[in-house]
Amino acid sequence: MPIVLVSALRPPGRRAFNAAHELGHHVFGHGAQFDELVEERSTLRRNDPDEYVANCFAGELLMPKAAVSRAFAVRKLTAGSCCPEAVYVIATYFGVGFGTLVNHMCISLGLINRTRAEELLRNQPLDLRGRILGAECRNNLVVADTNWVGRAIDLEVGDLVCAPPDVLFEGRCTEIVERNSARVVLRAVTTGIGRLAAGPWASFVRVSRKDYAGRAVYRFEEEVSDGE
Ligand SMILES: [Zn+2]
Q: Is the dihedral of CA 74, 148, 168, 199 positive or negative?
A: positive
* 115 or 35, which is more confident: 115
Q: Where are the alpha helices (DSSP H) in the chain?
A: 12-27, 43-46, 49-62, 65-74, 84-94, 98-103, 114-121, 125-133
CA of 86 from ligand 1 middle (Å) equals 30
Pairing, β 201-208 against β 192-198 = antiparallel
Average pLDDT score over residue span 180-196: 95
pLDDT of res. 124: 96
User: Around ion ligand 1, which residues have CB less than 5 A away?
Assistant: 33, 35, 51, 54
CA of 18 from ligand 1 middle (Å) equals 8
pLDDT tens track for 129-145: 999 999 999 999 999 99
CA of 117 from ligand 1 middle (Å) equals 24
pLDDT of res. 45: 63
**Mean residue pLDDT across the chain:** 90
pLDDT at 218 over 90: no
- What is the pTM assigned to this prediction? 0.90
pLDDT tens track for 53-104: 999 999 999 999 999 999 999 999 999 999 999 999 999 999 999 999 999 9
